[in-house]
């Protein structure tokens, strides 16, 4: 089920809210959330919940095993078993087709290529359970002895499909005891509406334009048309993914869970290192905390370790060469910035750093977009003066003129507007009341407008669902 669909918003969610708010005590609330989360995940393809529950069962026993054994040797065996299972699950469901296709291509073989449909959210919930068993092994958390509490952590529907990747320690206490305060409910509702609006009003509308430029014949794009398309794609992907995270965090808050932030206005970054501290924070911190310390290269060679982290970041995003290139591309810029050093980076004029970082990010999203390597090559050429179609054409000018309001709104919304108004509201009580009431009315209008736009909407799936 998709968050930005009428059936989720006006059938599933109202039932969910009413049943959850009536349910007492916390054990019943947890049971309600488990049942609704499984129903949410099963919608469209009921058999896939078998694998979700299997993942919870296996990792529950791995956690219990790590807790039960006193000798580190046995604890390590449990952990390795769990890691093989989890990575194997992603390997089979996400990468088997890609691996077989490449084996066939390299060795001119004719091995059968498995046609497995990627299960929505498998990369997200598998990374959550990996973080759980590794934290159990490191002694950072106590293994959960109640299976249903672990199942709730694994299948909690707000963040099940596209993150943020929530650590068990973040919500462990809230699984046992939580309370939705008036502030939680208000902030959660507002965040939910903001996320929905980002997705429906900005991302979905931007994608319609992106498809016109990047989705069809790349070879006829002019230089400005190529840049225009990829800049809008960069805006689209931000609003699509951060919109989902906002909805997840907002819903979590309504149910009394406090998830960590996943985005922090990434386009305000001044370099690529900072970009990755602001973009998909939960994935970056996962690799930093779980992969960097245990890489084969150890602490002796941080550059090779960094390279491995970025290779994995690319592979995580999808079973295609463009994602691997995309990961390595970012790895190279991070390595470059590490070589230069923070002090010397800070000496570079701010304008130049902003231009450099935005260029790298925008070209990077071009690599991310094109799964066809041939088209990617054509597109990258078209960004340069080697483009045979010239500098500019009629269509990008017409498109820019007719979508000016949307594009301006999208650019403005990449800035921290909420923080700006929050600071303005601190001045005095009147300002606070005016800003708060205006914010409420704007949110109500955004909810109504988003709902109208969803009528007969056909292109509303979130991009990160397929990861």
Partner 1 sequence: MKDKNNNEKKTPRGLLIFNIAVILAVFTGITVFINTAPRPTVSEEEQRELAKCPKFTIESYFSGEFTEKFSEYYNDAVPMRSTWKLIISEFRDKLGFKPDDGVDIVGPLPDIEE
Among 131, 159, 190, 382, binds partner 1 (CB under 8 A): 190
Residue 14: CB minimum distance to partner 1, A? 5
Among 277, 372, 451, 465, binds partner 1 (CB under 8 A): 451
CA 65 to chain centre: 31
Residue 282: CB minimum distance to partner 1, A? 15
Which residue in 114, 83, 109, 111 sits closest to 97, CA to CA?
Answer: 114
439 binds partner 1 (CB under 8 A): yes
User: Please, are residues 166 and 426 in contact by the beta-carbon 8 Å criterion?
Assistant: no
Which pair of structure tokens corresponds to residue 246?
Answer: 């906002």
Phi and psi dihedrals of 250, rounded to 5?
-65, -45
Catalytic residue check, 317? yes
Phi and psi dihedrals of 461, rounded to 5?
-75, 145
Calculate ∠ Cα 407-411-413, nearest 5°.
115
412 binds partner 1 (CB under 8 A): no
Which pair of structure tokens corresponds to residue 397?
Answer: 């000018």
Q: What is the dihedral of CA 120, 122, 127, 130, to 10 degrees?
A: 150
Q: x/- site string to partner 1, residues 193 to 222, per CB under 8 A? A: x-----------x--xx-xx--xxx--x--
Site for partner 1 in 376-395 (CB under 8 A): 389, 393-395
Place of tokens 């979508």: 403
Q: Which residues of 98-128 are buried (b: 16+ CB within 10 A; e: fewer)?
A: beeeeeeeeeeeeeeeeeeebbbbbbbbbbb
User: Please, are residues 461 and 2 in contact by the beta-carbon 8 Å criterion?
Assistant: yes
Residue 289: CB minimum distance to partner 1, A? 19
Residue 35: CB minimum distance to partner 1, A? 16
43 binds partner 1 (CB under 8 A): yes
Residue 428: CB minimum distance to partner 1, A? 13
178 binds partner 1 (CB under 8 A): yes
14 binds partner 1 (CB under 8 A): yes
Which one of the listed residues 258, 265, 280, 317 is annotated catalytic? 317
Query: CB under 8 A: which stretch of 73-81, 240-248, 334-342, 399-407 binds partner 1?
Result: 399-407
**Please, which residue, 211 or 274, has the CB nearer to partner 1?**
211
Query: CB under 8 A: which stretch of 9-17, 141-149, 307-315, 361-369 binds partner 1?
Result: 9-17
432 binds partner 1 (CB under 8 A): yes
Contacts (Cβ under 8 Å, ≥6 apart) of 322: 367, 368, 369, 370, 371, 373, 376
45 binds partner 1 (CB under 8 A): yes
443 binds partner 1 (CB under 8 A): yes
Residue 400: CB minimum distance to partner 1, A? 10
Site for partner 1 in 252-291 (CB under 8 A): 258
What is the distance between the alpha carbons of residues 135 and 316, in angstroms, rounded to a whole number?
Answer: 21
User: Please, are residues 1 and 247 in contact by the beta-carbon 8 Å criterion?
Assistant: no
Query: CB under 8 A: which stretch of 22-30, 93-101, 149-157, 188-196 binds partner 1?
Result: 188-196
Residue 422: CB minimum distance to partner 1, A? 7
Which residue in 280, 291, 246 sits closest to 364, CA to CA?
Answer: 280
> What is the distance between the terminal CA atoms of the chain, rounded to a whole angstrom?
16
Residue 204: CB minimum distance to partner 1, A? 10
Which pair of structure tokens corresponds to residue 269?
Answer: 């970054």
**Please, which residue, 11 or 359, has the CB nearer to partner 1?**
11
30 SS3 class: helix
Which pair of structure tokens corresponds to residue 62?
Answer: 């791995």
What is the distance between the alpha carbons of residues 374 and 383, in angstroms, rounded to a whole number?
Answer: 15
457 binds partner 1 (CB under 8 A): yes
* Helices 204-214/404-412 angle, 10° precision: 120
Binding-residue total with partner 1 (CB under 8 A):
70
User: Please, are residues 311 and 317 in contact by the beta-carbon 8 Å criterion?
Assistant: no
Site for partner 1 in 137-176 (CB under 8 A): 173-174
Query: CB under 8 A: which stretch of 39-47, 130-138, 357-365, 376-384 binds partner 1?
Result: 39-47
Where on the chain is the footprint of partner 1 (CB under 8 A)? Answer: 1, 5-7, 9-11, 14, 43-47, 173-174, 177-179, 182-183, 185-187, 189-190, 193, 205, 208-209, 211-212, 215-217, 220, 258, 389, 393-395, 399, 401-406, 422, 425-426, 429, 432-433, 436-437, 439-441, 443-444, 447-449, 451-457
Q: Which residues are catalytic?
A: 317
């Amino acid at each position: 089920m998709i968050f930005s669909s009428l059936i989720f918003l006006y059938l599933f969610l109202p039932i969910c809210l009413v049943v959850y708010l009536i349910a007492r005590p916390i054990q019943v609330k947890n049971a309600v959330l488990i049942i609704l989360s499984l129903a949410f995940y099963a919608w469209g393809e009921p058999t896939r919940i078998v694998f979700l529950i299997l993942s919870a069962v296996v990792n529950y026993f791995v956690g219990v095993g790590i807790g039960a054994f006193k000798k580190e040797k046995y604890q390590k065996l449990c952990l390795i078993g769990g890691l093989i299972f989890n990575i194997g699950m992603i390997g089979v469901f996400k990468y088997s087709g890609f691996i077989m296709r490449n084996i066939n291509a390299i060795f001119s073989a004719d091995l059968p290529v498995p046609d497995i449909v990627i299960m929505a959210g498998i990369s997200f919930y598998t990374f959550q359970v990996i973080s759980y068993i590794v934290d159990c092994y490191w002694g950072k958390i106590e293994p959960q002895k109640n299976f249903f509490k672990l199942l709730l952590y694994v299948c909690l529907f707000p963040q099940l499909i596209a993150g943020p990747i929530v650590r068990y320690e973040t919500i462990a206490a809230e699984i046992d005891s939580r309370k939705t305060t008036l502030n939680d409910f208000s902030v959660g509702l507002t965040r939910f509406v903001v996320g929905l609006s980002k997705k429906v009003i900005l991302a979905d509308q931007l994608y319609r334009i992106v498809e016109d430029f990047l989705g069809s014949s790349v070879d006829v794009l002019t230089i400005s048309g190529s840049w225009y398309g990829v800049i809008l794609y960069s805006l689209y992907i931000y609003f699509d993914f951060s919109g989902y995270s906002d909805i997840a965090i907002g819903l979590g808050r309504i149910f009394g869970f406090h998830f960590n932030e996943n985005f922090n206005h990434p386009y305000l970054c001044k370099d690529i290192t900072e970009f990755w501290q602001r973009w998909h924070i939960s994935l970056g911190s996962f690799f930093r905390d779980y992969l960097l310390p245990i890489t084969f290269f150890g602490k002796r060679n941080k550059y090779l370790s960094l390279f491995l982290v970025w290779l994995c970041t690319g592979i995580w995003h999808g079973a295609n060469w463009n994602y691997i290139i995309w990961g390595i591309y970012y790895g190279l810029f991070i390595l470059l910035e590490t070589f230069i050093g923070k002090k010397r980076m800070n000496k570079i004029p701010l304008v130049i750093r902003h231009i450099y970082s935005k260029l790298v990010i925008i070209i990077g999203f071009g690599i991310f977009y094109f799964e066809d390597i041939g088209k990617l090559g054509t597109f990258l050429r078209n960004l340069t003066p080697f483009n045979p179609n010239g500098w500019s054409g009629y269509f990008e000018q017409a498109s820019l003129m007719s979508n000016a309001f949307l594009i301006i709104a999208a650019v403005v919304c990449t800035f921290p507007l909420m923080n700006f108004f929050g600071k303005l509201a601190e001045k005095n009580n009147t300002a606070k009341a005016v800003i708060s009431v205006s914010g409420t009315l704007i949110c109500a209008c955004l909810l109504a407008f988003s709902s109208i736009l969803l009528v007969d909407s056909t292109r509303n799936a979130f991009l990160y669902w397929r990861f």
